[in-house]
Structure 1
């Protein structure tokens, strides 16, 4: 069973819901429509009439409609809760209501929400989009993602315009017939406006639909019209596209400026005017023109929406995920912060480079496994094997000093769903001493920082950072079988992550930067260059050069040379330690 909520303002929500329901049933999925609108499978009481104002009406701006003390509202949500408890739906499609989407999701049901055009950067819309497992947009896939949806683009599915109309055979257009359709939400034009148009266009026949004057099925009227004049609602546009009707679109005032915003995508498809044209403009406007409505992608749109919903119903939880980190007692406090701030539902594996007993006591929520030697490459490989043995399908490597932002895990999982063959990496913010924030990213400028939800293929694999990255278990196993994953011949500190990146590039495994997958690096004292790792860095740099013909960690090597601790030889080209006494404490 799949639940569908259809908003009752305007007919478009119910029309879309019926088309999607029909497609779900054709796929073998039962679905029921809950709505106050006439014809709902599960009629809901009307909750209009709330008398609250200000903060009470919107719950402090977090919701759109939550008036206090309204019995009808309480009864309405009780009806929805009773239906969910009785039918245990696998998913719920909401078209549209932020409150219903959040309420149903809080009952443990995966939610798909319908995206509307307009300016919807408010907290309520953003919360509804953020919690949704998928977002369906009834516009074509070439339309630029609106600003309010860019942060959620990794779950956005533009399926095309959804129309219930099926063109009839043998219907011819009358170039002098004008069909005028006002939406259920009303229009700014008046009968006097149209009387003036009729006077200057005496050769045209006008059919007016709107208000109480409606037809159950406008297919033939639209097919026979030389031109249609409509408001800018999503369903009106989809109906025009489905019937290939030349159109003049006059967007009407609606909440969140949805029709004005949506009409911007119609350039080249319809004539759009934001104000009612003057009478003397109409003769030219009504001249017949070519149409390109096939670009609105109405054919199969309802089926594509149903497939998105069915996909969420079939895979509601996503892949089992494990965060893997390396630590010892020197990073115990940072590790405790990482594990404590990790979201529920994510497994955690700590590979103890030393002090395994102390780490087990400090982080009982993490599965601690002891590394056989203090070798970062071997420890990462052990962590991955352990996570996979524990059932993980997605692996997230996070440095022990790093905290996961709220978005890190969902952004990585969304990226891997789109690019399961890739290694994905997000930006890292370095925090100041005493900070423990996870909400204010200020990423290190040396690494890419795409917009939230955006994926960017890496051009320079040398920018790979082992501080924070993710991949599927299947990709890890492919990497392990191909080149052995992290190379354990790099002993101690440095070089092994750059070597890993070079191997990715050599074997054609994509490296992808993930916008919004922020990690926050906790402050700790550092030495620059890292004198405590002098021997490791020099040995591993030489090892890397022998393999790749270039040196990693060049800035540190140059600093060691400038301090007189290291000298570079020319034949064979390598670095050697000249003065151990220059090592700082």
Structure 2
């Protein structure tokens, strides 16, 4: 049984009502869940932090948070209570609905956080911080709604569970086409009594019931089921209550931070689920509006309220019971020529990952340059090798890297070229992709940087490889596009690869062809390859020659070996350029060098 904390924001009643429904489902799943909130009905009541007396930078910590005023005793007390409860109960996860500050505070205490993703325009730095640090995000809207732009960078952790309502419709209640129910949330409204008096006067054939101000009921289910039209503001809970009771609706969104109700209403209007006028209409327009709402015949089943709270609870429980993450190793190959590039990779690697460098040469130099990496020396493959590069087989070195990673306890192996640095999302997105497809190999896009440039943001991927949207997986059909610069797999998949075809083929010596052969072996043995959107690597600049004359002998030997194995030629672009320059010729079905390798 997991112990789960739930934080409920106290403005309005929607947050704690939603939290109660999720709490109920968590308990039904066998977990203990406790709600902490400033709201008086919470299981643990927190101190109120209103009355700050500060503005600007002092309020927002320089724009990094939403609310962190100096000298606020209520703020100190509420966080002290949160910290005390967390220390005493050691929760396995915390669901935060909603607060940037609470989510970050709990995460700093080492607690996995599930954040509630709110609608509206929330591309500000504090919201992005809250969404980025969360292990999962719950959105209380249906899965067919297009992901808002501010959440697109977090789609791999976003769970659209449907509208969450606390209401249970009763059978046998018929709608009264002349009954209008007007509901305003506890968050306040701009509606004035005289406005509604004018509407009632303009609509004498209708009977109006108002659940506004202090005039409220504990359970509005019957009123919602009986109403011919419901008029509501546009909060998430009101929409879910309307949906679960299948009521015709007019939405009049109220001013709210981050324009959440306005954007909510626009989604429902565009889906044909509600009538949404522009502002509060003049009284004379209300007879027509009410007739439009009654004629709409909305398909509220699309709002996916059935089972929504259970789906949210399952997300929270999944984080609570699966918080221990896989051990991840990032592996690479290098020699002293790539020392500077390698130091960047190691010092920019994601925290919590093991790093292994297979030294093709210069192991002592690399060991001193990257003390945070476990450096192992590649064994020569050929006693009479043409040169050191050929002796230190890239194929054999990659096999050694994978074996070393597994020996050190890795469950996921990320192969990254020594010239590359990982973006902050490369490892998390690879991990998520392998959770979905543990028997596959996954690969991400690569951005080539200019000379003197070093970054891990603003990707501009090489156009030769797929670049799906962030968090999306694209099943590969052309395995020729496999790129050894950046790819990953589980340790179990590597073990299968070694059993099936031995890993990278050490018949390839030096440079070239071994990665294409590896990809073809994956396809031959039915191992799927997925392109992972957002798993960006950034390739550091270094001088290159095209074609790579310094590797001519290796490329020719490896091309002939590949052809003998598969009956077709790899690296054809390079071979054609070498041939056009008169450096090689195709003689008796194999390529042969015609000139010295120095060009």
Q: Shift of residue 481 of structure 1?
A: 2.9
- Separation in structure 1 between the aligned mates of residue 266 and residue 584 of structure 2, nearest angstrom: 63
- Separation in structure 2 between the aligned mates of residue 427 and residue 284 of structure 1, nearest angstrom: 54
Q: How does 1:366-445 map to 2 (within 5 A)?
A: 366-373=373-380, 374-445=392-463
- Say if 1:538 and 1:9 are closer, same or farther in 2 by CA, change over 3 A: same
**Could you list the per-position Cα deviations for residues 486-526 of structure 1 after superposition, in whole angstroms to 9, with x for gaps in the alignment?**
22222211111112222233334332222222222222222
SS in 2 for 1:541: helix
Q: How does 1:422-571 map to 2 (within 5 A)?
A: 422-569=440-587
Q: 1:231 aligns with which of 224, 230, 233?
A: 233
Q: Shift of residue 455 of structure 1?
A: 2.6
- Separation in structure 1 between the aligned mates of residue 266 and residue 524 of structure 2, nearest angstrom: 45
Per mean C-alpha deviation after superposition, the further-off stretch among 256-265 and 326-335 is 326-335
- Separation in structure 2 between the aligned mates of residue 540 and residue 300 of structure 1, nearest angstrom: 58
Q: Are 1:251 and 1:273, in contact at CA under 8 Å, matched by a contact in 2?
A: no
Per the alignment, residue 341 of structure 1 pairs with: 348
SS in 2 for 1:263: helix
Q: Shift of residue 28 of structure 1?
A: 1.3
Q: Are 1:34 and 1:44, in contact at CA under 8 Å, matched by a contact in 2?
A: yes
**Could you list the per-position Cα deviations for residues 238-260 of structure 1 after superposition, in whole angstroms to 9, with x for gaps in the alignment?**
11111111211222211101011
For normalisation by structure 1, the TM-score amounts to 0.95
- Say if 1:209 and 1:517 are closer, same or farther in 2 by CA, change over 3 A: same
SS in 1 for 2:570: coil
Q: Are 1:24 and 1:30, in contact at CA under 8 Å, matched by a contact in 2?
A: yes
- Say if 1:421 and 1:141 are closer, same or farther in 2 by CA, change over 3 A: farther
Q: Are 1:260 and 1:274, in contact at CA under 8 Å, matched by a contact in 2?
A: no
**Could you list the per-position Cα deviations for residues 421-447 of structure 1 after superposition, in whole angstroms to 9, with x for gaps in the alignment?**
332212222233333333343322322
- Separation in structure 2 between the aligned mates of residue 360 and residue 182 of structure 1, nearest angstrom: 66
Q: Shift of residue 332 of structure 1?
A: 2.5
- Separation in structure 2 between the aligned mates of residue 307 and residue 264 of structure 1, nearest angstrom: 29
Q: How does 1:159-178 map to 2 (within 5 A)?
A: 159-178=161-180
Q: Shift of residue 117 of structure 1?
A: 0.6
Q: 2:277 aligns with which of 268, 273, 280?
A: 273
2:338 is aligned with 1:331: yes
2:318 is aligned with 1:303: no
Q: How does 1:27-106 map to 2 (within 5 A)?
A: 27-106=29-108
**Could you list the per-position Cα deviations for residues 336-362 of structure 1 after superposition, in whole angstroms to 9, with x for gaps in the alignment?**
222222222101122222333333333
- Say if 1:263 and 1:543 are closer, same or farther in 2 by CA, change over 3 A: farther
SS in 2 for 1:241: helix
Q: Shift of residue 16 of structure 1?
A: 0.6
Spell out structure 1 runs of 4+ moving beyond 4 A: none
Q: How does 1:310-325 map to 2 (within 5 A)?
A: 310-325=317-332
Q: Shift of residue 48 of structure 1?
A: 1.0
Q: Are 1:151 and 1:451, in contact at CA under 8 Å, matched by a contact in 2?
A: no
Q: 1:291 aligns with which of 282, 295, 298?
A: 298
Per the alignment, residue 356 of structure 1 pairs with: 363
2:566 is aligned with 1:583: no
Per the alignment, residue 260 of structure 2 pairs with: 258
- Separation in structure 1 between the aligned mates of residue 82 and residue 155 of structure 2, nearest angstrom: 29
SS in 2 for 1:294: helix
2:123 is aligned with 1:124: no
- Separation in structure 1 between the aligned mates of residue 467 and residue 335 of structure 2, nearest angstrom: 30
Per the alignment, residue 148 of structure 1 pairs with: 150
- Separation in structure 2 between the aligned mates of residue 206 and residue 546 of structure 1, nearest angstrom: 85
**What are structure 2's unaligned runs of at least 5 residues?**
381-391
Q: Shift of residue 563 of structure 1?
A: 1.8
**Could you list the per-position Cα deviations for residues 466-490 of structure 1 after superposition, in whole angstroms to 9, with x for gaps in the alignment?**
0111122222233333333322222
**Could you list the per-position Cα deviations for residues 138-157 of structure 1 after superposition, in whole angstroms to 9, with x for gaps in the alignment?**
01111111100000000000
RMSD: 1.8
Q: Are 1:404 and 1:438, in contact at CA under 8 Å, matched by a contact in 2?
A: yes
SS in 2 for 1:286: helix
**Could you list the per-position Cα deviations for residues 48-83 of structure 1 after superposition, in whole angstroms to 9, with x for gaps in the alignment?**
111211122111111111111222112221111111
- Separation in structure 2 between the aligned mates of residue 482 and residue 452 of structure 1, nearest angstrom: 32
Q: Are 1:565 and 1:583, in contact at CA under 8 Å, matched by a contact in 2?
A: no
- Separation in structure 2 between the aligned mates of residue 347 and residue 89 of structure 1, nearest angstrom: 27
Per mean C-alpha deviation after superposition, the further-off stretch among 516-525 and 22-31 is 516-525
**Could you list the per-position Cα deviations for residues 4-41 of structure 1 after superposition, in whole angstroms to 9, with x for gaps in the alignment?**
10001110000011011111111111111110112011
- Separation in structure 1 between the aligned mates of residue 266 and residue 439 of structure 2, nearest angstrom: 36
Q: Are 1:222 and 1:243, in contact at CA under 8 Å, matched by a contact in 2?
A: yes
Per the alignment, residue 385 of structure 2 pairs with: none
- Separation in structure 2 between the aligned mates of residue 428 and residue 510 of structure 1, nearest angstrom: 20
For normalisation by structure 2, the TM-score amounts to 0.93
How many matched pairs? 581
SS in 2 for 1:271: coil
SS in 1 for 2:87: helix
SS in 1 for 2:432: helix
- Say if 1:507 and 1:195 are closer, same or farther in 2 by CA, change over 3 A: farther
